[in-house]
Amino acid sequence: MHLTNREIWALVHGLLIGGPFLLAFTGGLVALAGLRSEYLTPEGIRNRVAQLRIGASVMAMMAWAIVFIGIWVLLPWYQEARPDSPRSRDRGRRARRLLRAHARARPRRPEPRPRAVSRGIRRGERRRAARIARDACRTDPLKGAP
């Protein structure tokens, strides 16, 4: 079986680093659950915490290795332009179309009224607003007549 350079990097990214990372992550969760005081002595808890610190730092290094391989090795292959690819030929037109789509003036649709409030309450609000407007036109009895 012959693997290309890209396939080898994809295997390193996914199977050789990603798979063990997922296993270590689940093992770390199990180890955290096993830190209950009724299971261990104080000395045993100290040893387990030291193991968890080492495991967490190894997992962090594995995660960053996955990120760097994905960004610096694998992602540029997905973004490279090939002249025989229809996606590459259409890339410029798609970008212009996307930029111009937002420049066109579109009529704004009115926002729909919320239906969570019953119609009777909305009618009561209209009545209350009309009463407040009507009362605002009347004179204030405390201030006296104008």
Which two three-digit tokens encode residue 1? 């079986």
Give the lowest-confidence range in 19-23, 38-42, 104-108, 129-133.
104-108
* Domain carrying residue 72: 5-79
User: Is residue 54 assigned to a domain?
Assistant: yes
CA 116 to chain centre: 28
User: Is residue 129 assigned to a domain?
Assistant: no
Q: For position 23, what pLDDT does the model report?
A: 94
- Write down the mean pLDDT value for the chain: 77
Residue with tokens 């009895």: 141
- The closest alpha carbon to 20, from 11, 8, 9, 33, belongs to 11
**Contact at 8 Å (CB) between 31 and 55?**
yes
- Does pLDDT of 22 surpass 80? yes
**Contact at 8 Å (CB) between 58 and 24?**
yes
User: Structural domain tally of the chain?
Assistant: 1
User: Is residue 48 assigned to a domain?
Assistant: yes
Query: What's at 14, amino acid-wise?
Result: G
User: Is residue 126 assigned to a domain?
Assistant: no
Q: For position 48, what pLDDT does the model report?
A: 87
* CA 71-68-90 angle, 5° bins: 5
Q: For position 78, what pLDDT does the model report?
A: 76
Q: For position 90, what pLDDT does the model report?
A: 62
Indicate the burial class of 7 (C-beta count within 10 angstroms; 0-12, 13-18, 19 or more): exposed
User: Is residue 127 assigned to a domain?
Assistant: no
Question: What are the pLDDT digits (tens) for 82-133?
Answer: 666 666 656 556 666 666 666 555 666 666 665 655 555 566 677 777 777 7
User: Is residue 103 assigned to a domain?
Assistant: no
User: Is residue 34 assigned to a domain?
Assistant: yes
User: Is residue 33 assigned to a domain?
Assistant: yes
Phi, psi at residue 28, to the nearest 5°?
-65, -40
Q: For position 19, what pLDDT does the model report?
A: 93
pTM: predicted TM-score of the whole model, two decimal places:
0.52
Which one has a higher pLDDT value, 25 or 137? Answer: 25
